[in-house]
Chain A
Amino acid sequence: MTTRPDRAGAVGAAPPLLRLQRAGFGYGERVVVRDVDLEVHRGERVAVLGSNGSGKTTLLRGLLGLAARTGGTVEVDGEPAPSRRSRRRTGYVPQAMTVGGGVPTTVREVVSTGRLPLRRPWVPARREDRAAVDAALEAVDMAEHAHEDVTELSGGQQRRVLIARALAAEPDLLVLDEPLAGVDAASALGLARTLAALAARDTTLLVVTHEVGPLADVVDRAVVLQHGRVVHDGPLVPELLGASDEALERLQEESRLRHQHVHHHEHETAPPPGWVSDHREHRPQPTADHPECHHPGTHHPETHRA
């Protein structure tokens, strides 16, 4: 896992772990997500929010090379992605419990498949592979279930197995698609605790979710998508916790109004914090509404011009 540098100090020193510049993704000729600028630094825990059809899953699939890039650039640790290297640095936890096929498979067997891309074909599991699988099982608290058939586990436990499978590859960035969808409230809390434990170990997380509630203590930044565009990038403000469609509509409307405001007073004021206009040129500043708002990838807004 990664260590967490002082992100404000890291700017300019190391490239962000993930950088999207005017990136667009889609399927065939259909562009679903467009002009996304996003930087994720080591140790950050970012939630990608949005209602159904907002393009958040397409954004995630685009990062992983599962949806086509229609424009812009994607870099993982300064290198163009997706590449063989970037795929191995990015751990993917899919939404659906797709692991259980027609044949019984133990938890350990599923988690072990996470190590496959790290070794050559025909080479059997090595000692370090087994150690990484053990560590991944421990990290999600599933070691005692290692020899159980994965299809006999509860939904929440199966989700943990998928997280462990991604962790087994010792990725730099863990990408989760709707980790809480389809599990009961108790399991959702358990999963949130697991993710909080990973966050405490400085794992870089990118979580796509339509409901951030139980993850409020885990994520430290929210990116909101609406109609395929980023409408908010900043701290997890209270309006986002419910993340209902109405709340998102309101956010978008506020964003639009502030955007107009910014353009109107372009030389008089910086854009409001977190609200995306063109944050490569403007630095955010704290406001009375959201005193802690910060620029993506920046921990100390006060270090920038106020």
Chain B
Amino acid sequence: MPEVLTYGFMVRALVAALLVGLAAPSVGVFLVQRRLSLIGDGMGHVALTGVALGLLTGTAPVPVALVVTVVAAAAVELLRRYGRTGGDVVLAVLFYGGIAGGVVLVARAGGSAATLNTYLFGAITTTTAEDLRVFAVLAAVVLVATFGLGRRLAAVSSDEEHARASGLPVMGLNLLLAVLTAVTVVLSMRVVGLLLISALMIVPVAVAQQVCRSFRSTTLLAMGVGTVTAVVGVLTSYYGDTPSGGTIVLYLIALFVLTAAGSALVRAARHRGHRRRHRLATPVGEQA
């Protein structure tokens, strides 16, 4: 057995990374489809207020953060639907309110910068067995919902008006997606930190969409990319003594740059090949 697996905290960290790597892109793909890639960041900021509330009241931060984030997600969705404020403005208010509430409440709770950092940037190696049980349940909920109702969520994410006209329960599906986003944010905050949560939801999808043609294959590849980079990132952070969240996200960004450059080159080569075939097919006299 590799040395790294002899430590209980590292085994828990790797399992947590595996769960988050699978679950985060499975929700993120719907956010990318809706062009709401940054909503996870907004939710992350709100989760900070939840964590601070937990610290202030002496309750476990993860469940409190879960409740606060789910309520905020539902409120944003309702405001987006019925309010007079645009979606991006609601998102901005969420960003500022969440981080301001978090900072003030953590200070009131007597928390130090170190406590704040644990949540802002992730501290996967401090995952307890109890945390892991909560994470497993949350990840299972996210995966069952995104797979069982994935086609409906995709339909609403890509054409809300058509979904409404054809009789799909648009409000319910939007609320479900908001709640799943909130759950994923809370699930991911210990692994990558609240400031980098969106990266784990969005960047694997950005990588997969460079090479895939279908929604389904994009989703599956994104989950694969998320899982592998999360696990490799945690291992790297162990051996290289780097923060796990930042390491995972840097791997993802590197993968994105590589696949984006690769697919651009392939497209350019195809285009050149197409033009060459066109020239060969055109008699010389007809070429301008």
Contacts and interface: CB of A to CB of B under 8 A. Distances in A.
Nearest to A123: B148
Interface in B148-175: 148-149, 151-152, 154-155, 157-159, 161-168
Contacts of A149: 213-214
A86 B81 CA distance: 24
A284 B216 CA distance: 56
A98 B34 CA distance: 11
B218 interface: yes
B205 interface: yes
Contacts, number: 93
Given A116-B155, A117-B167, A66 B215 contact: no
A162 to B, nearest CB: 8
B32 A101 contact: yes
B67 interface: no
A104 B215 contact: yes
Interface string B207-218: 001001111101
Given A84-B167, A109-B214, A109-B216, 14 more contacts: A64-B165, A88-B166, A92-B166, A99-B159, A101-B33, A101-B34, A101-B158, A109-B154, A110-B158, A116-B155, A117-B168, A121-B152, A147-B213, A165-B162
A98 B162 contact: yes
B168 A66 contact: no
A104 B151 contact: no
Contact of A121 (B149, B167, B212): B149
Interface residues of B, number: 31
B29 interface: yes
B35 interface: yes
Interface in A108-135: 109-110, 112-114, 116-117, 121-122
Contact of A98 (B152, B158, B167, B212): B158
A102 B209 contact: yes
A94 interface: yes
Interface of A: 64-66, 84, 87-88, 90, 92, 94, 98-106, 109-110, 112-114, 116-117, 121-122, 147-149, 165, 169
B140 to A, nearest CB: 15
Contact of B158 (A65, A105, A122): A105
Interface of B: 29, 32-35, 37, 148-149, 151-152, 154-155, 157-159, 161-168, 205, 209, 212-216, 218
Nearest to B31: A102
Contacts of A66: 161, 164-165
B66 to A, nearest CB: 24
Nearest to A110: B158
Contact of A88 (B33, B35, B159, B167): B167
A114 B168 CA distance: 10
A169 B166 contact: yes
Nearest to B148: A122
Contacts of A90: 165
